[in-house]
Structure 1
Amino acid sequence: MDHALIIDRLSKQIREKRTSRGLTQADLADLAGLTRQKVIAVEKGTLSVSMIAYARVLGALDCEFSVIPARMPTLDELGDLF
């Protein structure tokens, strides 16, 4: 599976979790000890963002990584890659 698709899925899940909790990007940045710009980069799925930034954001959202078998990308996800 393409690494960009995995990061895209993770970033979308993070954004959905943040908004479902009623947090702004600035709120999440404060909780995670990051800048708002770094949270924006995480939510955009910027490939240069470090794993520690993802870990801090997930920790601030009371979430963690889970390794599961990959699933085939949807047509929408494939379209976003090109």
Structure 2
Amino acid sequence: MDYSLIISRLGQQVREKRTNRGLTQAQLADLAGLTRQKVIAVEKGTLSVAMVAYARVLGALDCEFAVIPAVLPTLEELADLFE
């Protein structure tokens, strides 16, 4: 599986957790000790974001990484890869 799709999915999950908790990007950034721009990059799945930024965001959301078997990409995810 393409690593960019994995990072994209992680960013989407971070965004969902943040919005489900009623937090703005600025509030999450403050909790994680990051800039709002870094939180935006995490949520977009920007490939240059360091793993420590993901860890800080997930820690601020009281979440952690879990390694699970990959699932096949959806048609929408495949289309996004070719944009």
Q: In the TM superposition, what whole-angstrom CA distance separates every residue of 1:30-69 from its partner, at most 9, and x where no partner exists?
A: 0000000100110111100000000000000000000000
Unpaired runs of at least 5, structure 2: none
Secondary structure, aligned partner of 2:62:
coil
TM-score by length of 2: 0.97
TM-score by length of 1: 0.99
In structure 2, what is the equivalent of residue 70 of structure 1? Answer: 70
Take 1:36 and 1:15, find their aligned partners in 2: how far apart are those partners?
A: 13
Shift of 1:79: 0.6
Secondary structure, aligned partner of 1:49:
coil
Secondary structure, aligned partner of 1:15:
helix
| Runs of 4 or more consecutive aligned structure 1 residues displaced over 3 Å after TM superposition | none
In structure 1, what is the equivalent of residue 5 of structure 2? Answer: 5
What is the number of equivalent residue pairs in this alignment? 82
In structure 1, what is the equivalent of residue 56 of structure 2? Answer: 56
**RMSD over equivalenced CA pairs, Å:** 0.4
In structure 1, what is the equivalent of residue 46 of structure 2? Answer: 46
Secondary structure, aligned partner of 2:67:
coil
Q: Percent identity?
A: 82
